[in-house]
Amino acid sequence: MPTISLEGVFKNYGSDSNAVEKLDLTINDGDFMCLLGPSGCGKTTTVRMIAGLENITDGRVTIGDTVVDEPMTQQFVAPEKRDIGLVFQSYALWPHLTVAENVEYGLKLRKMPKAERTSQVEKMTKTLGIGQYRDRYPSQLSGGQQQRVALARMLAVSPKLMLLDEPLSNLDSRLRLEMRAELKRIHEEFKATVVFVTHDQWEAMTLATRVAVMNEGVLQQVGSPMDIYDRPVNRFVASFLGVPPMNFIEMDESTPQRSAAGRFLERRVAQPAQVGSMGIRPEAIAVEAPDLGRAAGDLVFPGRIVSIMPTGGSWTVEVTVGGQRMYATTLQRGHWQTGDEVELVTAADHVHVFDLENNRIEV
Ligand code: ATP
Residue-wise pLDDT for 72-114, tens only, equals: 999 999 998 988 888 876 668 999 999 999 999 989 988 999 9
How much is the pLDDT for 255? Answer: 60
Q: Is 232 in the same domain as 283?
A: no
- CB of 37 sitting under 6 A from ligand 1: yes
For the stretch 59-97, what's the b/e string if a residue is b when 16 or more beta carbons lie within 10 angstroms of its beta carbon? Answer: bbbbbeeeebbbeeeeebeebeebebbbbbbebebeeee
Minimal-distance CA residue to ligand 1 atom 19: 40
Task: Decide if pLDDT at 256 tops 60.
Answer: no
Q: Please tell me the total number of residues recorded for the chain in this structure.
A: 363
CB 359 within 8 A of CB 279: no
The stretch 184-201 carries a mean pLDDT of 90
37 CA closest ligand 1 atom index: 6
Residue-wise pLDDT for 333-351, tens only, equals: 888 999 999 999 999 889 9
Q: Of 361, 340, 195, 336, which is closest to residue 278 (Cα–Cα)? A: 361
The stretch 190-210 carries a mean pLDDT of 92
| Beta bridge mates, 166 | none
> Looking at beta carbons, which pairs linking 221-226 to residues 24 or more positions away fall under 8 Å?
222/25
How much is the pLDDT for 121? Answer: 95
| pTM for the model | 0.90
| CATH number where 96 lies | 3.40.50.300
Task: Decide if pLDDT at 46 tops 90.
Answer: yes
Q: Is 173 in the same domain as 281?
A: no
Q: Is 265 in the same domain as 218?
A: no
Residue-wise pLDDT for 36-45, tens only, equals: 999 999 999 9
- CB of 17 sitting under 6 A from ligand 1: no
Confidence of residue 216 (pLDDT cuts 50, 70, 90): very high
| CATH number where 273 lies | 2.40.50.140
User: How far, in Å, from the CA of 45 to the mean position of ligand 1?
Assistant: 6
Minimal-distance CA residue to ligand 1 atom 17: 40
How much is the pLDDT for 363? Answer: 84
Sheet (strand 247-250) strand order: 247-250, 275-280, 351-355, 360-361
Q: Which residue, of 240, 260, 287, is where some domain finishes?
A: 240
Q: Is 185 in the same domain as 41?
A: yes
Q: Is 285 in the same domain as 312?
A: yes
Number of domains in the chain: 2
Q: Is 148 in the same domain as 264?
A: no
The Cα–Cα gap between 237 and 42 comes to 15
Q: What is the mean pLDDT of the chain?
A: 91
- CB of 20 sitting under 6 A from ligand 1: no
- Domain range for 46: 4-240
Minimal-distance CA residue to ligand 1 atom 16: 19
How much is the pLDDT for 254? Answer: 61
| Beta bridge mates, 309 | 316
46 CA closest ligand 1 atom index: 11
- CB of 43 sitting under 6 A from ligand 1: yes
Q: Are strands 161-165 and 193-198 parallel, antiparallel or unpaired?
A: parallel
Q: Which residue, of 202, 221, 240, is where some domain finishes?
A: 240
Handedness of CA 148, 35, 19, 216 (dihedral sign): positive
